A and B are shown apart, each in its own frame.
Chain A
Amino acid sequence: MSQMSALNDGSLSPLSQRASRCFDNLLESIIVDVASECHRIARLGLDRNLEEEEEELRLSAQARVADPGSSGESNSKNVIDIFGQTHPAIASETFDCMNCGRPVTAGRFAPHLEKCMGKGRKARTKVTRSSTIARNRHSRGSPVTVYAPYSNATNSSRVSNGTTRTAGEEYGDFTFEES
């Protein structure tokens, strides 16, 4: 390798020379690795994909900025979609909850359901009723137990535990469907 004479100031010990050659070999392997990876990226067009993704992000950011209808709640939900429609950040339609019958805002439906159907942590006291019902149901051998045999086992052994209640709340969903 002609490179060696460039590195060699004439007084380089054989040890250093050999070390230098080893280093060059290592470096060459790594260069080939990098070249190979870049070759793959080039042939598969992966760098192109990255570019396009960045472009799309930029375009969607533009769309966000250009949208005049943002009512102060300008977050990522206020973008123009592919049909050219914009949707308000928080869905404001009102309908009646099919569980409790109360009128509810669409955007608040999920948190409402949490309390309403007893899946959430906070509303547990209100909900122990339905979880008790669920537990009674499947102590009578309801098919619900088939779905989660493991939880059922722990249920019977750890009654006072919080785990029980969570499992019970899950079963709550099933029992509603059954009825």
Chain B
Amino acid sequence: IENKMSFLPQKEGKHPSRCPDNSAFKQQKLPAWKPQLTTATVLSTFFLTGAFCLSVGICLILSANSVREVQIDYSDRCSDCSKLRENSSNWNRECHCSVNFTLKEDILGDVFMYYGLENFYQNHRRYVISRSDAQLLGQNVNIEKSYCTPFTMYRNGTPMAPCGAIANSMFNDTIDLFYNLKSSVIQVPLLKTGNSWWTDKNVKFRNPKAYNLSSAFAGTARPPYWWKPVYLLDEEDERNNGYLNDDFIIWMRVSAFATFRNLYRRVHRIRQFADGLPAGNYTFHISYNFPVTKFKGRKHVILSTVVWSGGSNPFLGIAYVVSGAAATLTGFVITAIHLKLRKKKTYFQK
């Protein structure tokens, strides 16, 4: 009741005065900052950005130059194998080849091994959507409703695990690196885990829950182009097997362009390789399984170090230097114009 009473007089007292409120908002008089360009701020901004861009650019170029990279195209070097793979009926015949190369200088620091593909359209729409994220999460889903076609299930109704074109076409060359020290040949120790995104490995990819892996995938079959079922991808390491296999996870992250590289292995820094790869002769032993000639593609194997800005790419450094130079130049031009104007001003004043 009290509430009502307090309301009433207000209502009655309110005259229907149509005079608009004198509020700052309604009168469009809100306090506002009106940016004004002064010569000093403009010039200092240009010179500051110029200096910033130049210094960042120089840092980037310097560090990008310190990256050591060895890139070897082995699609031609193993011509026998590539011919063998052109005919798909030979799918079960193994083919090995080796590629020699020499390091003139030591490669110090962490060394990463990538495989690179050219003209492989991983970003084709039909290919990109051909996966089931729910299946890779370890859920028991009906993949028939997913976009995995035509790699969903076999004629007899057995679903593929993992399904889809991406998984089916997984890169399956194995590359080993050997160091030829005098007469002995030492295999360079390589790490096959820890190469994928942490969130992928620990959240986005899960094996179906079961007491062991092979039973988890019971009732499913490997994709048609695979040699072995998913639960045998890495028999040595339980935590790198099934959907959790690093090579598999990395492959499933679709590249942005048709020419791309994926992280394959890292050099394990022990013994002779504690500081990186020493100079000398090396051999790649490649088990050549992945056909590329059929789509006019190429394959590379890349050894590279990285710095704080990533792998070797001069673009960013150059772009920074160029824009820094442009900004500084503009600064100078504006100063010149300004001085000229001032001269004119004094001339007029006389």
Q: Do A and B interact with each other, yes or no?
A: no
B positions within 8 Å CB-CB of A: none
